[in-house]
Structure 1
Amino acid sequence: MASFANNKGLLRTVSVLQGFPTSSLVIGDNDSNDRTDMETENSNTSKKTRHDVALFMNFLQNTKRESRVMLDIDSDTLDNYIAEFLSTIRQKDMSQYEPSSLRSMFASLERYLKMHKYAYSLYSEYRFEKAREALRSKQNELKQQGKGNRPNAARAITEEEQELLYTKGILGMHNAEALLNTVWWNVTRFFGMRAGAEQHKLQWGDVTLRTAASGVEFCEFNERQMKVRSGADLRTIGCVNPKMWAISNNMDNPRDPVAAYKKFSAMRPAAMKRPDSPFYLAINNSKDSDWFKCQPLGINTLKSLMKKMFTKAALPTKGMGKITNHSARKTMIESMKDALPEPISLPIDVQSGGGCFHMNSIG
C-alpha cells in the first residue's frame, strides 16, 4: 500500500510549477498563517483545499512517478489518477478515511481545478466518470465496514431539554448571561446562522426590528456576504430574508424572540448600537447599568455556548450524538422537517451546514 508521507522538498518543487505560494502546499503548523490566491473562499476551506491538493500531488509524484503538474495532465489520465487516489488513500496510521472525508477531498480537487480554469468539471463531465464511480464504490465499501455512522455528530435539542434550559434559568432575560444565551439560541435557530466565524462576524445592523402590516413585530436578518454566499454565484443568494416573529404581546416573555432582542438592545451600550458594531458583546460583570461591554464576545466563548449551557444545566452532552453549537442548527432543520406536509429532501447546503433555504411551501 502506498504511503503519502510529507515531502517538503517535493512539495516546494510542485508549488513552483503550480504557481502556488511555497508555504501553501506544505502540510504543517504554519498552514493557519498562509495566504493564497483563493481570496473569495473561507479561510478554513482554503486550508482544506491546499491540504488535499498537496496529498494528491504527493500521490502523483511518489506513487505514479508523474512529473507533469496537475493542470497539464490530460483528462483521461487524470481521471484514472483520481480514481486510484481515492481508492488507495490512507491516513498516516494507515487507517481508512471516513466516507465524508473522501467526498471532501474530491470537492477540494474540483475547487482547485475550477480556480485555475481547468476545462472540465469532476462533477459533471463524462471524462471523470471513473473518478466519480471510484468515490461511490469506496464510500459504499467504507459504509459496509461501519464507517460514516458519525456517532459523534452533533444532535438536535429536544423540546424537553429546551424547556429545562428555560426553567433552570440558563435561557431567559433575567441576567446578562441568560439573555446572551437566549439571543444566540434564537438567532441560530431562526436565521440558520453557523456556529463559529459567521456568528462572530455578525453586526448589529445585520438584524433589524420591523413591524408587519398586521401590527406584529418581527426581527429580520439582512444578509451580508457570508461563507457560502459571496454574491458571485446568484444561486447562493437567499430568496427571502429570514425572520423571527413575536409570539406574544408580553415583552417580559423570555420565550418570545422579539422580546429577547429588544431586551438585548436595551441592555447594551449606546455606542454598540451602530450598524457596524459587533452583534455579540462581552458580559459586563461590574455594577454599571449596561449588562454588556463595549467589546465583542470572544470567538472561543461564542463557539462553546451550547455545551456550556448544557453543562451548567447538568444535562448530558454525550450519548446519541454530541451537544455542540451546531445542535441549534440541527434543531432548526428538524423543526423545518416536522412542519412540512410530506417528507422532502432538504437542499444539500442545508444538510451540510449552508445557509440558503429554498422551500416552496410549509403547511
Structure 2
Amino acid sequence: TNSYNTIRKTKHEVRRFALYLEDTFNEKCPIDELKPEQLCTYLKHYFGNVRKADNTEYEPDTLRSFMLSIERYLKSRQYPYNILESPVFASCREVIQEKRDTWAKPTKNISNSKVEAFTSEHESLLRQMNIITRDTPDGLLLELLINNSKYFDQRGNESTINRSLLWGDLEIKTDPTTSNEYIEYKRSTVNLRAYANPSQSNYCPVASLRLMTYHRPTQCSNADAPFYLVPRTSTDQRVWYKTIRAGRHRLDLLIQQSMQKAGVQGKFSCMSLRKGKIKGLLIPSTNSELLDLSSSNSAKKVKRESTTSNSSSVMIKPADIILPLQPSENHQDDIPSPIAVSLNNKRKLTSNDTFHALYSAAHLKSSRQSKINLLRKYLEDTLGLVEFLTLYEYLSRNSYIKLQGTPIEHYEHILPVLLTLLMLENTA
C-alpha cells in the first residue's frame, strides 16, 4: 500500500504528464488508454524535453522518479505493459539512461586523468574477497567487465566499456584445429580471441560468458541487445538482470564500490580498466597456452603448448552450434561431438540418482522456484556448471533430439531431471 505522500506525488506527476501531452500534441486521451507504441513515443518526447520552471534540465534521477510515478498509475489502472521492463518501452528508458551517461561529461577529461589504474593484483584481491563471484548478479557483471577489458581492449581501438557494446559483439566459437573454445571479439579490425581455461574454470572467460547467457532475460538475447544490463538484487529467479542497459555511470559505481569493499583507496572507474590494460598492468592469466590473444594473421599467433588436459577436461561446443529445429538425415553428425567425452573420470549417472532428485523435488512443499533451484543445484553438482549450461541450452533450443547412437545417449539417466527443469521453467 502506497503512503499518502506517494499517492499525492503520483497524481501530481500523472496530471503534469497529461497536461504536457495536451499542450504539445493536443492529446486528450487518458494515458492508460493509449496504445503502448504511442505512449512510448510520448514518454520519449516528455523525458527528452521537459524542463523546470527556470528552463533548466531535470537530473536523470528526477526523470526516473517521474517514470516510476507514471508506472504506479498505469499499474493501478491495470495497463497490460510495464514501462520499466517491457521491451516495447526500451527506447523511452534509453532517453533517461543517455542523460545519465552524459550528466557528468563536462568534467570527463579531468576525472579520467585522476583515476587509478586497475591491475592484475587488484583483480586477484577482488577474487580472494569473493567480490568477483558468479553467485551474484553484481559479481558476474564485474567479472565480465574486467574480462572484456583485459582481453579485448587495445590502444587505438574503441573501448569495450562502451554504451554501444552489443551482445552479438562477442561470440563463443571453437577452434577447428585444437577443439578449444574461445570468445571472438567482433568490433576490432583484428581477430581478438580469449581462449577457454577448463583447468581453472573460475578464471575461464568462456564459462563466465556462458553463465551470463543463462541469466540474461530472453528479450535481450538477440545480437543487437545491449551487452551490459542492470543487475537485479535477488538471485531467486533464473533471470538476474533487467532489460535496461547498464550505463557508464552505473558501471563506474560498480567498480568504485567493489574497490572500497576490498579496502583499496583511490578513485576507480571503467577508465581504470582500460588504463591498466594499456599500461600492461592488467594482463591475462599466466596460462598463455589457453588464454592468448591472437590477431587475424595466423603467423602472429602465440604458439600454445600442448599441455592441455584432454582426458580430465570437458570441452563443450558453443551455443551457436546446435541442432536445427527440423530433423535431417545427417542429424547425428550435427550434434556437438565434444560432449561425447569419456566418462571414466566422472561419477557414473544412474537411474537411482535421478529418482532421488525428482522424488525430493516432488515432495518439496514449497514454491515452483524452490523446486527449480533444487533440481538446478543437483544438475550443477552432478555435471559441473559449464556442462550443465551447455546441455540445458541445447535442449531448450531444440524441439527434436535423437537419443540412441548420439553423444546425448551418455546423459540418458540425467535427461528426466533436465526435462523436468525445462518444464517447470516454461510453466507460467
TM-score category, normalised to shorter length: 0.3 to 0.5
TM-score (norm 2): 0.37
TM-score (norm 1): 0.44
